Structure 1
Amino acid sequence: MNGHRLRVFALKFHPYEPNIFISGGWDDTVQFWDLRQKGSTRSLFGPHICGDALDIDPVHNHILTGSWRKENTLQIWDFNNGAKIKDVPIDHMHSSLLYCAQWLGKDYMVCGGCDHNMAMVIDRGTLNVTGQVYDLPQGVYCVDSTKTGAIHKLAIGSEHQVHIVKNEKK
């Protein structure tokens, strides 16, 4: 196989390697690409990506994937060898079919989906949910955050609205 067999929903360039990027989609693979090569250079199998649910952590060189399924929705992978590092455990109170996921700084992850129409922030060290917005009118299809500054802001896209959440440490 030299690339995806089904729809592609997410792309992410490596933060330090300008010729390297990854892609994910419905075929349950993450493909690794090098602009200097023809076709995919390698792949990992597992994530069922249906939105912008693919990110690369520039500090640890880990991949975060969010899957549109009931089990093992949020996963962390090693970029260098493609091995799964862990399934992020999410209890049924916080579970969702995920459309989006990204690293939120070096210490957190954020993801959003449609079962509880929610977005949540998860502590990378403890794997506990540290914040969430839920019961929105429709699923959360996209998230993004400020990458710098003392006060972090999170944008959440749901239905025809964008919600802004600020984290102000006191």
Structure 2
Amino acid sequence: MAQDSGRFSNISWNRVSQLSKQTDGGGTASPTGFCSIASLIRSARSSRRESQVSTVSSGNLSKSRSFLSNGDGSSSSGPVIEGNLQVLGGIDCGETVLSIQHSENGSSLLAGLVSGQIKVYNPVNGSIVTTLENEEILSNGKALSRLRCKPYTDFQPNTLVAATYVSGHLRLWNFATGQCAAQVRDDDKNAEYLSLSFNPFADVIAVGLSNGHIKLYDENTLQVVSLLHKSLSPFKNNGHTNRVLCIANHPTNPHEFVSSGWDNTLQFWDARCPNSIRSTFGAFVCGEGLVFDRKGRDLVVASWRGKQQLQLIDYTTGKLIEDIEPQLTNHYLTSAQYLNKDLLITCGTNLGIIKVVDLQKKATIASITELPGIYDIDMAKKAVTGHRFLITNNTSIVTIEYNK
């Protein structure tokens, strides 16, 4: 988003903080408290307001109606910013945003909402381009749980986005035309689809379910080509026993990926095997909290808990390399992404936080605290200066920039 041009919403931090307390368990530190994300996405709001977008000058945030003040311009305690982070602007989506991602070329910004809708925005000026919805979404109001844009293959552009829903649906949308290209629903009507990942090397989509299973779908037919799960042996930890909330494909191996969720395990998979090939205990992932380095040697795990929440894992062995900032904290992490090879951006709930972590120093070098819960983050594709990223902030998407 451009810093001073375009149309951005005047979002009151106080207002969204109050909403966060309603949907985030009032700051209570418990798995069920966070996973009001689960309760949040079970009951979509009946009213769907169109996005309201107006101008905010990012150069004068502290003195205007802005992210850091009340809607009437009066002062508020607001977030606490430390280090070289700057709030640039944002978009009011009208209802709770659970998942965000840029298109591969950065020309579109997609927001998955608690109503099940996907709103597509122009990331330069914040204007809404289209809304991805069909009659089924409008009638049942089941929430979207995760969306992911298809990676470019052989440098060929595409406009395909996949989305999972707690109704047990997997839908493929063309966000350029606004059409639903294909959809499928699980045979088990009680199944919830909670996470997904495109295989960057093949036309396969991995979907994580509420029962701990992972289904691999053929992207072209939406037929299940493989069902991955724990074996029947009670003595083997070779699959999930609870919700799968994150799947991350290996960046260089087309057959392998990792997953985690509510069962305190990290599972390592080869798509050619029905059970995981190795596993470790200790990860409690409640969002996009699994991130590979570029070579696929190390895996960052962001866990939703008060200590040892950010860890570096050796992918080959599954063993812990080190805890990054292992001390006790009131911020529980939901998602993480690399800013570059040495810097990591993480966000969390309970007491909302955004922080930039230096992996060499093993320390936070910039942060914003005193926030409502942050569920998802995404790197901007075309940052003019510094490192620009977006966060979900209740009903809004906020653009933030980090400069060394």
TM-score (norm 1): 0.88
Alignment match of 2:285 (pick from 31, 49, 52): 49
Which has the larger displacement, 116-125 or 159-168? Answer: 159-168
Higher-Rg structure is 2
Displacement of 1:68 in angstroms is 1.2
Q: Are 1:160 and 2:395 matched, yes or no? A: yes
The residue number in structure 2 matching 1:16 is 252
The residue number in structure 2 matching 1:7 is 243
Displacement of 1:35 in angstroms is 1.4
The residue number in structure 2 matching 1:113 is 348
Which has the larger displacement, 12-21 or 150-159? Answer: 150-159
Displacement of 1:151 in angstroms is 3.4
Q: Are 1:141 and 2:375 matched, yes or no? A: yes
The residue number in structure 2 matching 1:58 is 294
Q: What amino acid does structure 1 have at the position aligned with 2:323? A: D
- Please say if residues 59 and 106 of structure 1, whose CA atoms lie closer than 8 Å, have aligned partners that are also in contact: no
Q: Distance in 2 between matches of 1:83 and 1:9?
A: 21
Q: What amino acid does structure 2 have at the position aligned with 1:29? A: T
Q: What amino acid does structure 2 have at the position aligned with 1:39? A: N
| Residues 150-169 of structure 1, C-alpha deviations (whole Å, 9 max, x = no match) | 63211111211111112345
| Residues 81-107 of structure 1, C-alpha deviations (whole Å, 9 max, x = no match) | 111011111556x65111112232200
Q: Sequence identity, in percent?
A: 32
Which has the larger displacement, 70-79 or 99-108? Answer: 99-108
Displacement of 1:9 in angstroms is 0.6
Alignment match of 1:127 (pick from 348, 351, 362): 362
Q: Equivalent residue of 1:65, what SS?
A: strand
Distance 1:76 1:166, change over 3 A: same
| Structure 1 gaps, min length 5 | none
Q: Distance in 1 between matches of 2:258 and 2:382?
A: 24
Distance 1:13 1:107, change over 3 A: same
| Structure 2 gaps, min length 5 | 1-236
Which has the larger displacement, 102-111 or 3-12? Answer: 102-111
Which has the larger displacement, 111-120 or 4-13? Answer: 111-120
Q: Distance in 1 between matches of 2:257 and 2:295?
A: 16
Give the count of matched residue pairs. 167
Query: Over the residues paired in the alignment, what is the CA RMSD in angstroms?
Result: 2.0
The residue number in structure 1 matching 2:46 is none
Distance 1:89 1:100, change over 3 A: same
Alignment match of 1:75 (pick from 311, 318, 323): 311
Q: Distance in 2 between matches of 1:133 and 1:106?
A: 22
Q: Distance in 1 between matches of 2:387 and 2:346?
A: 16
Distance 1:128 1:114, change over 3 A: same
Displacement of 1:115 in angstroms is 3.2
Q: Distance in 1 between matches of 2:379 and 2:336?
A: 11
Distance 1:161 1:4, change over 3 A: same
TM-score (norm 2): 0.39
- Please say if residues 105 and 147 of structure 1, whose CA atoms lie closer than 8 Å, have aligned partners that are also in contact: no
Q: Distance in 2 between matches of 1:90 and 1:132?
A: 17
Q: Distance in 1 between matches of 2:380 and 2:281?
A: 30
Higher RCO, 1 or 2 (CA under 8 Å, sep at least 6)?
2
Q: Distance in 1 between matches of 2:353 and 2:376?
A: 11
